[in-house]
Structure 1
């Protein structure tokens, strides 16, 4: 397993590299001290796994993980001194989330979990299953003082709310911190289609189409919600609905 370490603290890189020497199946192929350099190194070195700090000068590790293209994306283990990013980490499909100073037993657990994920992806499965493996299947969202699991298949539509999004399900709605672009990169848009820069909709939830004015297309959903289709999305939405008719 080829590993790239990304951290703005050289001592933290050295400590992780020392710990990783205890794993025969792990090869540290490089290190980066900022997100911009890390993006180039990931493209050039093609690691299987990136141990990624979150708060670094010049760019967030969380944003870097969200912006990685699905094709050839390495596994991500976040390594940070902060507990409060865990939900966001799993929203971008991180394999694990380690707190500094990293304990060897937790690192071993994280490496084992990551290797299992890699083996599953490489195992012989139908093409459709391989496609599904690239996408996030669930999100951990805040619910009062707790966090609960919301499956992507439960979500009927999504709307933007400043730095957050709102997941609307048949039972209730959930506020979650993630950007719309990060969502588009992490979910299967054949199931939840982006219809506006501020909205995704499950096409099977559309009850009817309304055209209240020239050039305006609204989607009326089964729960009564009305979602406007952005001008640049109209053609794609109409084509998808025609395929399903």
Structure 2
């Protein structure tokens, strides 16, 4: 992948550069120290992926991302601040990494970006089963490298939006699937999955705890996954978690 790095901290940028350089198949085509330079670099090089710090001089990372997101460049935010996580995922960012960036966490984010590229480049074949199971069925056909697989809706632990795609997470792996959250909300009615954010569904029985980070409330799943709770869903979700039989 062609990559642009944008961070006003030279040491943070150098560390990220070094970590990415260890991963084969990637080329860092430009670096930037502010949001305006990041937008200019994306326009000049047309990268597959841009890493954006949020607090930068001039145009910050969020504002830069609003312009970058109009194209096909994917975005990963890298920042020391947690309070912008909800905004980042609302924008369809691939991921949101907290500094200092760790190699395993970076590798996971890069893999998510790669999966998104594969899904966007895929073309449906007329000889394959339809991507969505018939109305009322309890499974969804999802694309994989070798073709398609039948995914039981009951096996889905959580759903995460990724722009015009979604990740369907099971206990074993994640599947990338082309659908909007609105389409899935209708499709998943009665499945037990609960919408907790504009960009997320979870199974309430998998929520192990809640945690407040500033103004943001996070749901902590039993596998350690952290899912932000959207303000408009907060009352209904918390009521469901506290009184599951009454909600």
TM-score, L = length of structure 1: 0.53
Corresponding residue for 2:83? 84
List gaps (5 residues or longer) in structure 2: 126-130, 132-162, 166-177, 183-194, 201-230, 235-247
Corresponding residue for 1:167? none
- Aligned residues of 2:197 and 2:233 also touching (Cα < 8 A): no
Corresponding residue for 1:4? 4
Say yes or no: does 1:24 pair with 2:27.
no
TM-score, L = length of structure 2: 0.53
Q: 1:21 to 1:124 in 2, by over 3 A?
A: same
Q: Deviations over 1:204-244 (max 9, x none)?
A: xxxxxxxxxxxxxxxxxxxxxxxxxxxxxxxxxxxxxxxxx
Write the distance in 2 (CA, Å) between the matches of 1:28 and 1:10: 15
Corresponding residue for 2:140? none
Corresponding residue for 2:47? 47
Corresponding residue for 1:150? 198
**Displaced runs of 4+ in structure 1, greater than 6 A?**
none
Cα deviation for residue 50 of structure 1 reads 0.4
Cα deviation for residue 132 of structure 1 reads 4.8
Q: 1:98 to 1:132 in 2, by over 3 A?
A: closer
Cα deviation for residue 71 of structure 1 reads 3.5
Cα deviation for residue 69 of structure 1 reads 5.2
Aligned to 1:114, the other structure's residue is in SS state: helix
Corresponding residue for 1:68? 68
Aligned to 1:30, the other structure's residue is in SS state: strand
Q: Please tell me whether Structure 1 or Structure 2 has the larger radius of gyration of its CA atoms.
A: 1
Q: Deviations over 1:68-126 (max 9, x none)?
A: 35343x11000000011111000110000000000000000000111001111111149
Aligned to 1:110, the other structure's residue is in SS state: helix
Cα deviation for residue 26 of structure 1 reads 1.1
List gaps (5 residues or longer) in structure 1: 140-146, 153-172, 177-245
Say yes or no: does 1:174 pair with 2:232.
yes
Write the distance in 2 (CA, Å) between the matches of 1:31 and 1:16: 11
Aligned to 2:198, the other structure's residue is in SS state: strand
Q: 1:138 to 1:7 in 2, by over 3 A?
A: farther
Q: 1:106 to 1:95 in 2, by over 3 A?
A: same
Write the distance in 2 (CA, Å) between the matches of 1:25 and 1:62: 27
Q: Deviations over 1:46-81 (max 9, x none)?
A: 110001100111111011112235343x11000000
- Aligned residues of 1:53 and 1:80 also touching (Cα < 8 A): yes
Cα deviation for residue 6 of structure 1 reads 0.3
Write the distance in 2 (CA, Å) between the matches of 1:85 and 1:102: 17
- Aligned residues of 1:93 and 1:136 also touching (Cα < 8 A): no
Q: 1:175 to 1:43 in 2, by over 3 A?
A: farther
TM alignment of 1:1-245, pairs within 5 A: 1-68=1-68, 70-72=70-72, 74-125=73-124, 132=164, 137-138=180-181, 148-150=196-198, 174=232
